[in-house]
Structure 1
């Protein structure tokens, strides 16, 4: 559906530009946007490579395992249907850890693997389980301690203080994570009440 929306917006934009005689401006905007996208991506690659390298060092040193053990009691309460030593739990913790450090691109593969494992635990059904919905809510809202990608973008655009957003990011993502969990639990309990009637 999203592809249809984007394609429609693109086609409508070209039609309006052609009808109003502004195709030259559209062409310039397309090429300028493409150039800026390449510069932005190269800047992001460098900062992501740096943070992924740090994550690899943290993994080899055992820091990620320690963080995983610290998160394990919380994650076990959030995902009570997932057995403690199941591979899904490891992927969920890895996904949450990557999101904590603002590594959304690194968190995505782990989130996908966690969803695959949760689907296996859900007997391969297409209907999302409680754990799958909770993971999606947490992954989307995600508490972030270091907004790596945003800091990188701010550095690329020569911000005077690219890290000044860290405090507000922690507050905003803490609020979004709390809201996501409250909404997730509200709808889960509401569904349970409907089933009992």
Structure 2
């Protein structure tokens, strides 16, 4: 991935030099990087709130209790994860944050889940079906409240930035269902 970014940036810089637009490139870089920093800072509050709530839920044992109550459903999605594995808790925390629209905050729990899944993986250089399923669900992720998109719409002056909630919930639910079905069908073939 880093090579792709390197080539895209290099091609852009070389193109701006040959087209005589290096000055425009510098203006865009300066303006957009400051906007990016402002955007990230404005999201810190939302991310801190949800990460704090999820850490409290984890420390209080609530996540483990939810995990135990959802174990039969999780066993369908992730059949080879042992019942006592921490991976299930991390997967639940990741999914919960994604559903609540705090996908940036969910990343840390997603990485921890993958570490736990790798520990129970017998072939360390090959992803398991459970790892692939988790990645598929994580990428499609149902969004109950898409905070990031609402924040962007609010910053851009939308009259009703929340109006996308129902359509986003519908679209992400359908995409997640299709992703899970596709993954289950493909894992049977290979």
**TM-score (ref. length: structure 1):** 0.86
Distance in 1 between residues matched to 2:182 and 2:11, nearest whole Å: 37
Quote the offset at 1:40 in angstroms.
0.9
Equivalent residue, structure 2, for 1:12? 11
Equivalent residue, structure 2, for 1:146? 145
Distance in 1 between residues matched to 2:33 and 2:7, nearest whole Å: 20
Quote the offset at 1:79 in angstroms.
0.9
**Partner SS state of residue 145, structure 2:** coil
Equivalent residue, structure 2, for 1:195? none
Distance 1:40 1:177, change over 3 A: same
Q: Is the Cα contact below 8 Å between 2:90 and 2:113 reproduced in 1? A: yes
Distance in 2 between residues matched to 1:85 and 1:79, nearest whole Å: 13
Distance in 2 between residues matched to 1:155 and 1:53, nearest whole Å: 24
Unaligned runs of 5+ in 1: 192-197
Q: Is the Cα contact below 8 Å between 2:114 and 2:131 reproduced in 1? A: yes
Equivalent residue, structure 2, for 1:128? 127
Distance in 1 between residues matched to 2:96 and 2:107, nearest whole Å: 12
**Residues 1:118 and 2:108 are matched in the alignment:** no
Equivalent residue, structure 2, for 1:85? 84
1:12-91 pair list within 5 angstroms: 12-56=11-55, 64=63, 67-91=66-90
Quote the offset at 1:58 in angstroms.
5.5
Quote the offset at 1:54 in angstroms.
4.4
CA RMSD of aligned residues (A): 2.1
Distance in 1 between residues matched to 2:187 and 2:121, nearest whole Å: 16
Number of corresponding residues = 190
**Partner SS state of residue 135, structure 2:** helix
Distance 1:31 1:18, change over 3 A: same
Which digits, 9 at most, give the CA deviation of each residue in 1:7-32, with x for residues without a partner? 11211111121112111111111111
Distance in 2 between residues matched to 1:54 and 1:134, nearest whole Å: 26
Which region of structure 1 is more displaced relative to structure 2, 158-167 or 128-137? 158-167
Distance in 2 between residues matched to 1:145 and 1:72, nearest whole Å: 22
**TM-score (ref. length: structure 2):** 0.89
